[in-house]
Structure 1
Amino acid sequence: MNNKQRRKSEQRKFQLRNELWPNCEEYVWDRLSYDGFTTMPKTMPVILKIMDEMTKNKPVSQTYFALWCSTWDNSYVSLTKAKELASFSGFSGERAVTTWSSRMKSLEQLNFIQIKPGKSGPMSHALILNPHLVIRGHQELRTPGLFETSYNALLELALEVGAKDVIEITDEKLADYHATFVREPTPN
């Protein structure tokens, strides 16, 4: 679907919405009117599912989602407020930060994020890598926990929504990504 077709499709959906829910404009979230939004791939639900499948009984999707919502479209997250990030990730109580830290380490071991130390300790800064590229890398490596059905669902959805970065990853880009960021995954 090219940009012109996509805009036409969006206009039709907008018209249908207004027919089904007249006068709803002031009651829906409009990212062009309000601050405090983030940009994310339409494939995010499948990405989160894949992450949780790869980490078995220690789901990381809430932690990843909290990180994603903490960036300003620059893929960088300051980790100085660990308690707050732990809470946003769904963890509470005495072990909240410890549990959150273990999920962060899992995300790093699976190469979804990179962590750097700083004045707040060993976890002070995080870089969120392109999850499409990361998952494609795991598919190439045949990483345990990445199920073919989920990977294929990601490919199907990517084609449906026009996420070219899933499909058009060149061997050169994948090799460069592996050389720059990938550490061999360790079992969880």
Structure 2
Amino acid sequence: MSHIIRAVRSEDWPRVKELRLTALQDPVAHLAFLETREQALARPDDSWRERTDRAAEGETLLQLVAEQPDGRWLGTVTVLVEPAGELGLFGDVPEQSQTHLVGVFVRPEARGTGLAHELFGAALEWSWELTEPRVERVRLFVHEDNTRAEAMYRRAGFARTGEFVPAPGDGSAKDLELAVARSGARTTDRGREDRARP
């Protein structure tokens, strides 16, 4: 399967929209994403343009895609920068600067080919190359019932940290934090499985 991994460009917004709508039809979309297909469909095109413009700038966030020679996108991952001392995506304040991977999706026909691993490799490389802020770890969250996704994240080098947040829409379920540290840094289970963050 021939493809390249690249950052989105501003003019890609229709394809950003198409891939997101496809991802939201996946059988495990309710576990993997914070929005529904109906919510995404309700967003005006200007919202998709703005979202893509921000991702194309590559400063506070970056969206990577795997693109075939014919232009078809096979998968994507978005990287959000969470500077130390500033509010993170889930309302926490990280002690050290980190990036946060979201919006992970690989089309069914490209699963099991190593494509997700390539996307993660590119996301990690971009994270480690940041100098302002210098990123000390990369994290993501996975629903406790999304075992296939967690297995893929573990193969990419991520490990549970012991942190979690309540899964949206289901107060009894958890989204588990997984992270990988910069070489020489440590990501450990700090034994906080007994409490959730707001």
TM-score, normalised by the number of residues in structure 1: 0.29
Q: Which has the higher contact order (CA 8 A, sep 6+)?
A: 1
| Larger of the two Rg values belongs to structure | 1
Higher normalized helix content (fraction of residues): 1
Higher normalized strand content (fraction of residues): 2
